[in-house]
Structure 1
Amino acid sequence: MLPANQITFQPIDTCLNCGMQFDNEDHFCRGCGAKKIEERFTVRRVMHEAGERIFNLDNRFLRTFKDLFLKPEAVIGGFLAGLRKRYLDAFSYFTIAITISGFQVFVLKRFYPDIIKEMSSLDGQNNALTEMIQNSTMEYQPVVMFSTIPILAFMGWLTFLTLKKHNYTEHLIIQMYSYSHLSILGSILGIVFLITGMNYLLFGLLTIPLYIIYNVYIFKRLYTLSVKGILLRTLFFLAILLFWYVALVLIVLAVLFITDPNVFVELANQNAG
């Protein structure tokens, strides 16, 4: 308990989270671990607590981010086995990824609109179809991210089906960690590319190879596969990816044709010009 002259908030006797009775010397609830509030919220206290959470090298986000590079099997395999305290859970990590990715899109749209136009150009000419797809992807980025994970999970489950180690739901967790991690890394690198004036289009081309390489690394560690084994399954994964890519392009084109056929008329006119 704080000294009497430091108490600025009349502490309650019972934990509001679990109902456990506090003793006078308690700083935290003995039942659920919730902090016993003895100080009022002030700017100084808020800044102090925020600093502890954000900059403390032992906090769970930084530990999760670091170990997904160094030992992803400990983070992902640990979560699937029931580990909850050491690392962020997959859903919280995904939420952070959406937030950081959204910030990158904001920076791109607010300060670098010329790069967006350049990204939607083919042979130096503005392409209406590419621009529409790109704008929709940026506008509904959280939906795109959330809907991509089940597809990737299915591809992963199919690739490693014969090993019978993880079911489809567990592959969802694996891909949620993997996709979120690469989204965070990609968003940070993307902002660096923008600020430093490096070729942002080159960065965009590197994202797919980076995803493949990182997933090869993850699954090799999770399944303890040989080099030959992981290479064969990577080739199988790439074949599935190509199939899904072609199917997705055809679906998008069909939807656009049904909803707005003028896009294709404009595209034909651009090509004719």
Structure 2
Amino acid sequence: MGKRRRKRISCPNCKTHLKEEMNFCFNCGQENHIRRVTVKMLINDFTSTYFSFDNKLFRSLKFLLFKPSFLSLEYLNGKIEAYLRPIRLYVFISFFFFILLGVTSNGSVINNIVDTRNDKIEKVAEEQDKTLADKTTKYEQEDTLIEDIDADFEEKMKQIFSDKKEARNFFNYLQNKLPILLFAMIPVLGFILFISFYKKEYFYIDHLVFALHLQAFLFVMLSITTIIDWMFSEDVGGFAFLALLIYGFIAAKKFYKRSIISTLFRLLIVGVLHVFISIIALTTFFFVVMNSYSI
């Protein structure tokens, strides 16, 4: 015997008008049944959502790691709900990596940069003083506003890098902003792939999906090497990038279906262009962050 329903005349979810015989909203699918929210309902909502995400995550990670380009091809072929969508997978893995980096290193990566620089603090300060003195004449010939901006910027750099604690704080601030740059660079990588592996049947979005999965794979490798470094004090960071090169070649060959020579040549173009643009982006990003940093 079916359960007795207390019907509504409109859907409480999307406000669509419903007929009496309708057991579900034809617009959004919500059940047409008035009932009080119970603890059991809340638990069911949580467990179904959590385990659904959990299953999709582990299934997606398995294919991401061991079947290069499989997730990209599946997504583009319309199999969307079986795995985490590309952007969700990337955001989750990158978020996990940066949390892991903060927890495991406790700033050790930044400390190493600062400690290396700390041995040369006096020398750097002297060189900057000399540089400022050498540029005095040049500044006097320039516009007063530009002169003030340049002088303030150099003074800020001097204050940051002449103090170990301040330098560490700045690099921590820089590290917190880095995910923004990395995310912004993915469409750039997608465009480079688009022009390097151009095919009429491939749209830009196809290359962007492939780029998201490549970046997600890199963050998984970086997470693994970070854990190894934390547990065994072994610096194996280079392994992540070596794995990316091998993985990227296999994935690109399967995804674009080109010959070995053609794939290698095009990946070389992708690598050169991406490194060149990344250097410009990183330099610009550094100065933008420096400008926004408050001492």
TM-score relative to the length of structure 2: 0.62
**1:104–1:190 Cα contact (<8 Å) kept:** no
Residue of structure 1 equivalent to 2:62: 66
Does 2:269 correspond to 1:244? Answer: no
Letter in 2 for 1:114: S
Q: Which runs of 5+ in 2 are unaligned?
A: 122-160
**1:137–1:144 Cα contact (<8 Å) kept:** no
**Deviations 1:217-248, CA, capped at 9 Å, x for gaps:** 22111112232222222222222233224434
Residue of structure 1 equivalent to 2:99: 103
**1:68–1:181 Cα contact (<8 Å) kept:** yes
* Deviation at residue 61 of structure 1 after TM alignment: 2.2
Q: Output the CA distance in 2 between the equivalents of 1:175 and 1:11.
A: 50
Residue of structure 1 equivalent to 2:231: 196
Residue of structure 2 equivalent to 1:206: 239
Q: How does 1:80-229 map to 2 (within 5 A)?
A: 80-108=76-104, 112-122=106-116, 125=119, 128=161, 134-161=171-198, 163-183=199-219, 185-186=220-221, 188-190=223-225, 192-193=227-228, 195-199=230-234, 201-203=235-237, 205-229=238-262
SS at match of 2:80: coil
* Deviation at residue 117 of structure 1 after TM alignment: 0.5
Residue of structure 1 equivalent to 2:265: 232
Aligned length: 246
TM-score relative to the length of structure 1: 0.66
Q: Output the CA distance in 1 between the equivalents of 2:101 and 2:290.
A: 28
Q: What CA RMSD, in Å, does the superposition of the two structures yield over aligned residues?
A: 4.3
**1:53–1:59 Cα contact (<8 Å) kept:** no
Q: Which runs of 5+ in 1 are unaligned?
A: 5-9, 261-273
Letter in 1 for 2:97: S
Residues 3 and 192 (structure 1), Cα distance of their counterparts in 2 relative to 1, 3 Å cut = farther
Q: Output the CA distance in 1 between the equivalents of 2:232 and 2:175.
A: 21
Residues 96 and 39 (structure 1), Cα distance of their counterparts in 2 relative to 1, 3 Å cut = farther
The percentage of aligned residue pairs carrying the same residue is 18
**Deviations 1:139-160, CA, capped at 9 Å, x for gaps:** 1133123212122112212221
* Deviation at residue 54 of structure 1 after TM alignment: 4.4
**Bigger relative contact order (CA 8 A; separation at least 6):** 2
**2:104–2:230 Cα contact (<8 Å) kept:** no
